[in-house]
Amino acid sequence: MNRRDLIKTCSLMAVGSMFSKGFFDSILASEKETYKAYQKALLVKEDLTPFTVKDISPNTALLFYYPYRSTPCYIINTGEEVKPTKVKLSNGKEYEFKGGIGQKKSIVAYSAICPHQWSYPSKDFSLINYYPSNEKSQTTGKSGVIQCCAHISVFDPKSGGQVLEGPAEVPLACIELIEEEGKIYATGVLGINQFEEFFDMYKSDLIDQYGGLEKAKEQLDKTVVMEVGKYVKEQIKC
């Protein structure tokens, strides 16, 4: 990360720090829907042929965009069965996470926007990354997790994105995946999504990158799955 990007990141995080715990509680209190269906999008490879469960190896995370062309997500093969579970929120509400897909039920997907202060993988760097089971975080000693190094929030991809530790108030939003005739589709978002907060926080960047906020908010009917390192110059792990 160069000096300009680092300063920019720190500035954004400082703005985010101005929000109190009450702010995040108000998000929950507003009773956002815990599931929202979006336009059904086919996951495809870079050659635009359908992406299948065979195209992601165990202990691997790949990047795609959903439901909007500017909102990044991780599709992860955890290498082991991910069972359905109830995801509990701090306000006492809960919702049903349906578990993994694929023959081994090991494939899940999550929004890559940290629900704490909306750090996300940009073309320059990513502070929120997947640590497979064979790679421990230096700061938390945890593996098989999604961790954001902006403020060390840690999420469990095998339990619906629940918060394991750190300041995040809500779990990562889960991307609903379905298999139809060997093809994978994204169909909706489960949990407390952070899309509007993300659009507000990064409005000027998104306008520069996509040519307008409305362009950044276009929903997709087809989304390319790619290696994280091909899109992000630097994955910052901690």
Distances (CA, A) of 54 to 50, 158, 182: 11, 19, 10
Helix (H, G, I), strand (E, B) or coil at 27: helix
User: Where does the pLDDT of residue 19 fall: very low under 50, low under 70, confident under 90, or very high at 90 and above?
Assistant: very low
Does 26 reside within a domain? no
Res 32: pLDDT:
55
Residue with more model confidence, 9 or 228:
228
Does 3 reside within a domain? no
Q: How many domains does the chain have?
A: 1
Question: Domain containing 163 — which CATH number?
Answer: 2.102.10.10
Residue with more model confidence, 14 or 120:
120
Res 90: pLDDT:
81
Does 206 reside within a domain? yes
Give the single-character DSSP code of 124.
S
Res 18: pLDDT:
46
Does 77 reside within a domain? yes
> Is a pLDDT exceeding 60 seen at residue 64?
yes
Q: Which two tokens stand for residue 194?
A: 């952070």
- Condensed to tens digits (0 to 9), the pLDDT of residues 32-62 reads 568 999 999 999 999 999 999 999 999 999 9
Please give the share of the chain, as a percent, with pLDDT higher than 90.
Answer: 82
Does 143 reside within a domain? yes
> Is a pLDDT exceeding 70 seen at residue 100?
yes
Residue-number span of the structural domain to which 71 is assigned: 37-235
Average predicted confidence (pLDDT) for the chain: 89
Does 14 reside within a domain? no
Res 27: pLDDT:
45
- Condensed to tens digits (0 to 9), the pLDDT of residues 87-96 reads 988 888 899 9
Does 1 reside within a domain? no
CA dist., res. 157 & res. 185, Å (int): 19
Res 154: pLDDT:
98
The vertex-68 CA angle with 182 and 215, nearest 5°, equals 135
Does 190 reside within a domain? yes
- Condensed to tens digits (0 to 9), the pLDDT of residues 108-166 reads 999 999 999 999 999 999 999 999 999 999 999 999 999 999 999 999 999 999 999 99
Bridge partners for 64 per DSSP: 73
Res 111: pLDDT:
98
- Condensed to tens digits (0 to 9), the pLDDT of residues 194-216 reads 999 999 999 999 999 999 999 99
